[in-house]
Structure formats: C-alpha cells, structure tokens
Amino acid sequence: MNRSTFDQWLRIVEAQLVAARKVDGKGLARLTRERLLLQDQLTLAGVVALSPADRSYAKEVALKIRALDRRIRSCAQVVMDALAVVVPEASPTTYNARGYLRG
C-alpha cells in the first residue's frame, strides 16, 4: 500500500461529491461500490505496515475524506428536502369504489 492508493481513495470521494451535486444516482452508486472495494483493500492491507510518513499522510487523507463526506451528506439532505416539497408524504385525496373520500 502506498500514497497512490490513498490518492485514489480521495479522488473517488471527490467524484462522489460531484455526483451528489449533480444528483447522479447511478454515478454515485458506482463510485460508492468502487470506494467500498478500495476501503476493503485498505482494511486488509492494514495501516500498521505503513511507514510513519505514510501513516501521517493516511491521516491527512482521512480528515479530507471526513470533510467531503459531510458535504456529500449535506447535498443529499438538500435533495431530500426538495423532494419532500415536490412529493409530499401524505397520499392524495381520492374517492374509493363506494364514492367516499380517502387519503
């Protein structure tokens, strides 16, 4: 494991933020799968085997990723809030088979 692995991880998370801003669900899902695969590789490789310099770099990347994750969640919240306005949770008022209002 080297710095390029951490750089790849950071690029994936940055791309996730771009996809979230564009409300690109398919792109976000693909990037999430890529991120999970890379995180599994990082977990299996372990941080213990890193040199002190690489361990410090890994911490820097982890802090950047945490900040990006907060921004991704913020984008998702904006989308959810917008959808709540456009698609209200309450079912519309309609008539049933007997002619009574429901909903």
Alpha carbons 102 and 90: distance in angstroms, whole number? 11
Q: In this predicted model, what pLDDT tens digit does every residue of 17-29 receive, in sequence order?
A: 999 999 999 999 9
**What φ, ψ does residue 13 adopt, rounded to 5°?**
-65, -40
Residues of the domain holding 7? 3-102
By C-alpha distance, which of 9, 92, 85 is closest to 43?
9
Alpha carbons 17 and 88: distance in angstroms, whole number? 26
**What is the reported pLDDT for 94?**
76
Q: What is the CATH number of the domain that holds 43?
A: 1.20.58
**What is the reported pLDDT for 63?**
96
Reported as a pLDDT band with limits 50, 70 and 90, residue 65 is very high
Number of domains in the chain: 1
